[in-house]
Structure 1
């Protein structure tokens, strides 16, 4: 009996694989298109369902670790070596993030609240704490340098036990002591180990692994990031009672300060004429370590000093979404102008 109409099993499996890959890529594309609503929405859901989500907050480091691993799959040893061999951009980023930004924060706080206000401490503290791990995902999605941001997050976090106390003492003549053990453990879990695994896989497969797994790993990393935003919102929710009496006064100042942090990185690298570096540094200067900021603010300062830190941490994700949208529009605009010039 003829079998001409029968489809071979391996062909059917290949077709199913193609469908899955296409669905993954389509999901990833749609997610990035609607991210300006998804991320703030995730933040709101985290607040609304905080009692249900609190028990899952300990999973945040593991979710972050997967996001880091996904990004690191696109990095080879050669790329990381090239970044480390050129420390100038990292030094400039740290100057923008931890020298220029605190000075501006201090000036804004003094003008708005006076030199003796605890709110000034909170604004400055936000700019001194190390770069946020979530910058890795935003930089990857926006066309920045993943090897550079991975290196900067690791180095900045490692230096933070020295940078944060020195910065606070310099501005306010107040001494604080940071417990480094937990910070180092978090750094290893969230950044160092997944980066090492991702780079090793990249090297072993000669870069082929990223293309092979991207349709599956990229959508999952986006979902992990949504979970991270929601769970961090749930973790912050108990502190919202501190904010209630100060929202009208502080929200505009916090939005202004976080926006200025993004702008400092963006315009502070404009003279280099390198879009990849500009994207990377603008996110690095605009986003800070969420958990460390809350721990320091609530552990070493008054609740009022913690208010600007918590507000800024809440604001940095929606502004990251807006920043991503602006970068995307600017890139498309430049590409359009370049295309017209080539046609002529």
Structure 2
């Protein structure tokens, strides 16, 4: 039983780049019967967040915060530099008050994606740093998300800031803290013990969030076809910039090897799209959710592309090191 469930989880993670877009499309197709179940979204997402929390304890966060520069750099890139770019891009293409501009900014404002930890692990990055970054960013998200929206848009849009803060507390912060408490009380043993159940179930809940959010916005999509010619490239540019930003700016830390560049690239590039969809649908117009939905479709394939690039770069460096070693031996 355990081996079967572990294999299922690994398969989901391996093919997540294809599963999530397919789930999104399925939600569009089955919108009519599924839309009645959209009230389940916060509960499904809270469980996903809880499962993330049971893999991290106080020591993980403390160890990372002893060297806070990578954490600070990643958060500045993800939630200051990237939102400013998204805002300027939206301003250029759609105008300051456009829901698409708000959607682009919202995409960059939402917390770092849990799935970035998976990609960091597959790419031989620093998993502990990635996990701690996601935890820390989730904890400050109730203030970061509404704060960025208020700062960049001010009085030009109206939304329930206290309500958004409360929702983010309930679906991110509290489940994460509860997961960390369980980790501490069990001495870190609860996650491996419960993994055959909690891991596949959390993957299904994650897919369920995507499915139901897609069903919720499907009725409005038919009216937006003409806008997608501009929206799709704008989201593609934003997603690509977020990935590249972390990788390039990791040079500021002058770290040796690929561990830190890989970690910063994925953590600064991937966002918790489920949160974005919940917030977009709950507090803004359906058009605002469109860039977030497109982010789902582009984020995982972009991660796959980046993984391929990392592998090619590493293979090239290995060949260069081998040539240098042979050259030295020849001397």
Normalising by the residue count of structure 1, what TM-score does the alignment of the two structures yield? 0.77
CA distance in 1, matches of 2:7, 2:184: 28
The structure whose Rg is larger is: 1
CA offset digits 1:210-251 (Å, max 9, x no partner): 222223321111111111111111111122134123223432
What's 1:322 paired with?
A: 301
Question: Which of 88, 91, 96 matches 2:77?
Answer: 96
Question: Which of 138, 162, 165 matches 1:153?
Answer: 138
Matched, 1:256 2:227: no
What is the CA distance between 1:112 and its match in structure 2? 4.3
CA distance in 2, matches of 1:209, 1:49: 37
What's 1:73 paired with?
A: 54
Question: Which of 85, 95, 101 matches 1:123?
Answer: 101
What's 1:182 paired with?
A: 163
Q: How does 1:189-208 map to 2 (within 5 A)?
A: 189-208=170-189
Q: Is the 8 A contact 1:131 1:157 kept in 2?
A: no
Matched, 1:30 2:15: no
Q: Is the 8 A contact 1:125 1:168 kept in 2?
A: no
Normalising by the residue count of structure 2, what TM-score does the alignment of the two structures yield? 0.79
What's 1:245 paired with?
A: 226
What is the CA distance between 1:47 and its match in structure 2? 0.5
What's 2:280 paired with?
A: 293
SS state at 1:269 partner? helix
CA distance in 1, matches of 2:184, 2:38: 33
Gaps of 5+ in 1: 1-19, 299-305
Change (3 A) 1:269 1:177: farther
CA offset digits 1:272-328 (Å, max 9, x no partner): 441334322222499972232345542xxxxxxx64x33311111122211332344
What's 2:329 paired with?
A: none
Equivalent residues, number: 310
SS state at 1:325 partner? helix
More displaced stretch, 241-250 vs 130-139: 130-139
Change (3 A) 1:206 1:71: same
Q: Is the 8 A contact 1:71 1:137 kept in 2?
A: no
CA offset digits 1:9-31 (Å, max 9, x no partner): xxxxxxxxxxx011011111211
CA distance in 2, matches of 1:288, 1:95: 20
What's 2:266 paired with?
A: 279
SS state at 2:41 partner? helix
More displaced stretch, 312-321 vs 253-262: 253-262
What is the CA distance between 1:94 and its match in structure 2? 3.9
CA distance in 1, matches of 2:38, 2:248: 36
CA offset digits 1:171-198 (Å, max 9, x no partner): xxx4444423432332232222222222
Q: Is the 8 A contact 1:66 1:194 kept in 2?
A: yes
Change (3 A) 1:135 1:111: same
What is the CA distance between 1:90 and its match in structure 2? 4.4
What's 2:328 paired with?
A: none
SS state at 2:228 partner? helix
Q: Is the 8 A contact 2:103 2:292 kept in 1?
A: no
Matched, 1:135 2:135: no
Q: Is the 8 A contact 2:41 2:209 kept in 1?
A: yes
CA distance in 2, matches of 1:179, 1:50: 27
Q: Is the 8 A contact 2:239 2:299 kept in 1?
A: no
Change (3 A) 1:134 1:88: closer
